[in-house]
Structure 1
Amino acid sequence: MRVAIAGAGAVGRSIATELITGNHDVMLIERDSKQFEPHTVEQAEWVLADACELSSLEDAQLHTCDVVIAATGDDKVNLVVSLLAKTEFAVRRVVARVNSPHNEWLFTEAWGVDVAVSTPRVLAAMVEEAVSIGGLVQLLTLRQGQANLVELTLPEDTELAGTPVRDVDLPRDAALVAILRGGRVIVPQADDPLEGGDELLFVASGNVEGEIRKAFGS
């Protein structure tokens, strides 16, 4: 997969390194010459250009990318990059970094954003997830708010211990996609029993999250 990352700061470089480890082809686009440091991620293709300029993206052949990640520290830049990637280059998947929670409402399909990742929200969710037992924690918003990745940790003394996954009355627009148990990642099957302490990951529309809580007695 070919991925373009706008913004080669600490965040952009870290994302690039992770993607390269996964054998993806990565291009970093950076407009600040002070942050243009190809030696920091040598396996990536580096482009010194302004990702908000259409001509620069054309020269970088953005149309060859499967994914664009707008990862700068400026929300205005990330929105412009997202819009250009989607409308001018028909990039299949656009992921945008949200720096300020006040701007999160802008990162929608109208601006070409498929997935908005709010740094403050993710950090808050990680803290909440670490201390929350029995409560539903929203980890990530998908497809412009049409669905969320949410997590629920079962209490150790849960009454659902031993209950097969098929017997849990989940709402229609929710799917249990993984169970984290003792360092293992389990793709749940119908006959798999739940256990106390299980961390359950769901993909669900926002309007059914209350029904998920009810299904697990929280």
Structure 2
Amino acid sequence: MRVVVAGAGVVGRSIARELLISGHHVTLVDRNDSVFSDDPVEGADQFTGDACELSVLSRLGVEDADVMVAATGDDKANLVVSLLAKTEFAVSRVIARVNNPRNEWLFDDRWGVDVAVSTPRLIVSMVEEAVSVGDVVRLLTLRRGGANIVSVTLPEQTPLAGRPVGRVKFPRDAALVAILRGGRVIVPEPDVPFEPGDELLVVAPEEVEADLSDVVSQG
């Protein structure tokens, strides 16, 4: 894939390096030229410019990008970059970094954001996941589909123990996408039985999260 990353701070450079390792073509842009001279990202196309300007995005060829990542340390800039990428260049997938959790409500399709990533929210989710067996923990919000990726860990006394996936009725519009068990990722085929301690990854809209918790606790 061709990915354009706006913001070459610590976060932006780390994203670029990970994408390069995975074999993607990465273009990195930042207003500050010194970030490239002080810590260049080998293998990435590096440009100096303000990604909030149409002329800069046009020069980068953003219209040919598969993914735009707005990863600056400024929420206002990330929103502008996202909106321009989506409305002016029709980038199919726009991912934006949320620096201040109070601004998270802005990061939706109105601003061209398909996926908003809030580091504080992710950390809180990981903490909650560690202590909230049986509770639904929201990991990521998918703006385009109006759904969330949530995690729920089956308690030791779960009524789902031994029951095959195909015999468990999940809430409408909720989809079980993976089961994490002892370091393994298990595809939830209909005949795969649930076990206590399984971590279920589910895509579901917010309004059915309570129903999902009932399925886990009541069967």
TM-score (norm 2): 0.96
- Counterpart code for 2:28: L
- Counterpart code for 2:165: V
How far 1:39 moved relative to its partner?
A: 5.1
- Counterpart code for 2:141: T
Structure 1 181/194 Cα, relative in aligned 2: closer, same or farther at 3 Å?
A: same
**Residue in 1 aligned with 2:173?**
173
User: After TM superposition, where is structure 1 displaced by more than 6 Å over at least 4 residues in a row?
Assistant: none
SS at match of 2:211: helix
Structure 1 199/99 Cα, relative in aligned 2: closer, same or farther at 3 Å?
A: same
Structure 1 21/38 Cα, relative in aligned 2: closer, same or farther at 3 Å?
A: farther
RMSD: 1.3
User: Conserved in 1, the CA contact under 8 Å of 2:159 and 2:216?
Assistant: no
User: Conserved in 2, the CA contact under 8 Å of 1:20 and 1:44?
Assistant: yes
1:6 aligns with 2:6: yes
**Residue in 1 aligned with 2:25?**
25
Q: Pick which of 33-42 and 94-103 moved more.
A: 33-42
User: Conserved in 1, the CA contact under 8 Å of 2:79 and 2:111?
Assistant: yes
How far 1:90 moved relative to its partner?
A: 0.8
Q: Distance in 2 between matches of 1:13 and 1:19?
A: 10
SS at match of 2:217: coil
User: Conserved in 2, the CA contact under 8 Å of 1:2 and 1:25?
Assistant: yes
SS at match of 2:170: coil
**Residue in 2 aligned with 1:199?**
199
- Counterpart code for 1:29: V
Q: Distance in 2 between matches of 1:75 and 1:5?
A: 15
Structure 1 174/37 Cα, relative in aligned 2: closer, same or farther at 3 Å?
A: farther
Q: Distance in 2 between matches of 1:144 and 1:193?
A: 32
SS at match of 1:23: coil
**Residue in 2 aligned with 1:55?**
55
Alignment of 1:117-132 (within 5 A): 117-132=117-132
**Residue in 1 aligned with 2:40?**
40
- Counterpart code for 1:160: L
Alignment of 1:51-200 (within 5 A): 51-144=51-144, 146-200=146-200
How far 1:196 moved relative to its partner?
A: 0.7
Task: Give the number of equivalent residue pairs.
Answer: 218
Structure 1 37/126 Cα, relative in aligned 2: closer, same or farther at 3 Å?
A: farther
Which 5+ residue runs of structure 2 have no aligned equivalent?
A: none
Can you list the C-alpha shifts for 1:80-112, whole angstroms capped at 9, x where unaligned? 000110111111110000111111111111111
User: Conserved in 2, the CA contact under 8 Å of 1:180 and 1:186?
Assistant: yes
- Counterpart code for 2:118: S
Which 5+ residue runs of structure 1 have no aligned equivalent?
A: none
Q: Distance in 2 between matches of 1:133 and 1:19?
A: 33
- Counterpart code for 2:41: V
SS at match of 2:57: helix
Q: Percent identity?
A: 62
TM-score (norm 1): 0.96
